[in-house]
Chains A and B, each alone.
Chain A
Amino acid sequence: DADVTQTPRNRITKTGKRIMLECSQTKGHDRMYWYRQDPGLGLQLIYYSFDVKDINKGEISDGYSVSRQAQAKFSLSLESAIPNQTALYFCATSDHQGRATEAFFGQGTRLTVV
């Protein structure tokens, strides 16, 4: 089983619809992230959370919101989807406790807004 699980894996939605992408992890990490990837580009950070009560905006948070329901769950919402939000979305986790470590990524959610 994957350590970082994203659902759904693929989604097609219409402009103006609200959509939620979910992420759960079994790694026990305190830090969780949502990234967006557009073709030919690297990953851009949307939101991140360093613990359940901590939510921070990333580089491109406009049009998105998040909820950290538990240490293991971090969901991303598009309140009113628009076509330029069509992209590949990744959830990631990391564990620090005072030291730098790697990030673990989910398999991604391919979102298409028509």
Chain B
Amino acid sequence: SQQGEEDPQALSIQEGENATMNCSYKTSINNLQWYRQNSGRGLVHLILIRSNEREKHSGRLRVTLDTSKKSSSLLITASRAADTASYFCATDRGSTLGRLYFGRGTQLTVWP
């Protein structure tokens, strides 16, 4: 069963706007990771946030983690058409470090 659930399932915005995707999960975690997948291609790691961290930045990406609510959000600022992809959150649980549980993903479309 999937551990993470992303919301929304699909998001459509204009270039220059910000995109926010959310992820909820059910059990305690070691860390939470966000991945990007271009259509039919392999997943690419974007950012990892540990359970004792609340916010992390990488370029135009900002990730927050609220362990009390078991949720995370990924913010992409100043979106570009090239950001069009599916975005997945993956949780790394306490029992087996490294085994990831993926959500169903958010399909982001950025229009020029």
Taking Cβ atoms with an 8 Å cutoff, the residues of B that contact A are 1-2, 4, 30-31, 33, 35, 40-45, 48, 50, 88, 90, 92, 97-105
Taking Cβ atoms with an 8 Å cutoff, the residues of A that contact B are 4, 31, 33, 35, 40-45, 48, 50, 58-59, 88, 90, 92, 94, 96, 100-108, 110
When the two chains form their complex, are residues B42 and A106 in contact, meaning their CB atoms are under 8 A apart?
A: yes
Given A40-B104, A42-B88, A43-B88, A100-B98 contact (CB < 8 Å): yes
Write out the residue numbers on chain B whose beta carbons fall within 8 Å of the beta carbon of A104: 45
**A interface secondary structure, majority:** strand
When the two chains form their complex, are residues A90 and B43 in contact, meaning their CB atoms are under 8 A apart?
A: yes
Cα distance A38–B42 in the bound complex, in angstroms: 13
Cα distance A106–B30 in the bound complex, in angstroms: 24
When the two chains form their complex, are residues B50 and A100 in contact, meaning their CB atoms are under 8 A apart?
A: yes
Contact of A42 among B40, B42, B44, B102 (CB under 8 A): B102
